[in-house]
Chains A and B, each alone.
Chain A
Amino acid sequence: MQRVAVLRFPGSNSDMDALRAAERVGCEAYFVWHRDTDLRAADVVILPGGFSYGDYLRSGAIARFSPVMQAVQRHAAEGGAVIGICNGFQILCEAGLLPGALVRNARLTFVSKPVDLRIERTDTVFTNAFASGEQIRIPVAHGDGRFVADTATLDLLEAEGRVILRYLRNGAGTEPNPNGSAHDIAGISNPSGTIVGLMPHPERVVDPMLPNAYKSKFFVSMAAWPSLTPGGRS
């Protein structure tokens, strides 16, 4: 059974949703406070959405230096799975675990609505239950979601197939790229697919009362990812 650590920063607000979503797919999920340094033999670490440290200075900039992030750096370096959702994605970029940065939406407004997306990569901890090219609609809720990186980094991400999730472009009935993200990027991963960041909020739409069961596939993917625990993680 996957052990899933959901980090809690001051200002996290999707932490309970993330915990419930992990439990719903059979994982053993628990919270880890930002001052803790022990991930308690986690297989997967989730950095949930919210406004850690009030988004002071830049989104994710201060959370990056919290004690728990040193443990996350070690966990990631050992090949452990890390998933950053929304503010979690911003923290992973600030921490250098993923490239690029997330800056103010192009139209300056906070965007909270469902958007249309395409799954671009299916061998990651968070997308392996999807079919490549599958199109989904899940919500975003962010003010700083515009992914930017220099041209060389964007070219590298594309060449290595590390864009895992992309906003759709304008089309009839389509809710398109809401923030002006470069290359319509909504989510990326590290080369091996163990570290994933995405702006949309799949954890908010996994309740069975809501339509479209595909939305739980992110967490089904996470539960299916090979557990590190049998190898004797400490």
Chain B
Amino acid sequence: MTFRVHVRVMPRAGLLDPQGQAVEHALGMLGFGEAARVRVGRAIELAVSAGSEDEAAARARLMCDKLLANPVTEDYTVEVEER
């Protein structure tokens, strides 16, 4: 089976995120003063061949640990959907 995997990689909470700050500032300038705590991360989508949804998720988490996220600075979430 092929699964669609959505990986979301975000800068770790507590780590200075200058991109998030810049975007938050820009939103404020545009009149969106209600926006706060903006953080900018990265979304990665991939198709994964696996025997089950759990297996696809486990493989995707391994991909995150090895490459897609930096364990020093980033956290990630994995969502799997059947195609």
Contact = CB atoms under 8 A, between A and B. Distances in A.
Interface of A: 57-58, 61-62, 65, 93-94, 99-101, 103-108, 146, 148-150, 180
B72 A100 contact: yes
Given A100-B72, A149-B72, A107 B18 contact: yes
A62 B16 CA distance: 24
A104 B18 contact: yes
Contacts of A99: 72
Contacts of A62: 67
B62 interface: no
Counting chain B CB atoms within 10 Å of each CB, the highest count among A57, A61, A99, A106 belongs to A57
Per CB-CB distance, the 8 closest pairs between chain A and chain B, nearest first, are: A101-B72, A101-B73, A108-B18, A101-B70, A106-B18, A103-B73, A58-B70, A148-B73
What is the predominant secondary structure among interface residues of chain B facing chain A? mixed
Given A104-B18, A108-B18, A108-B19, A57 B73 contact: no
A208 B23 CA distance: 45
Nearest to A146: B16
Nearest to A150: B72
13 contacts: A58-B70, A61-B67, A65-B67, A93-B72, A94-B70, A99-B72, A101-B73, A105-B18, A106-B18, A108-B19, A108-B22, A146-B16, A180-B16
Contacts of A61: 67, 70
B68 interface: yes
B15 interface: yes
Contacts of B72: 93, 99-101, 148-150
A149 B19 CA distance: 19
Given A101-B73, A103-B73, A148-B73, A57 B68 contact: yes
Contacts of B70: 58, 61, 94, 101
Contacts of A105: 18
Interface string B1-42: 000000000010001101100100000000000000000000
Given A61-B67, A105-B18, A108-B18, 15 more contacts: A57-B68, A58-B70, A62-B67, A94-B70, A101-B70, A103-B11, A103-B15, A104-B19, A106-B16, A106-B18, A107-B18, A146-B16, A149-B72, A150-B72, A180-B16
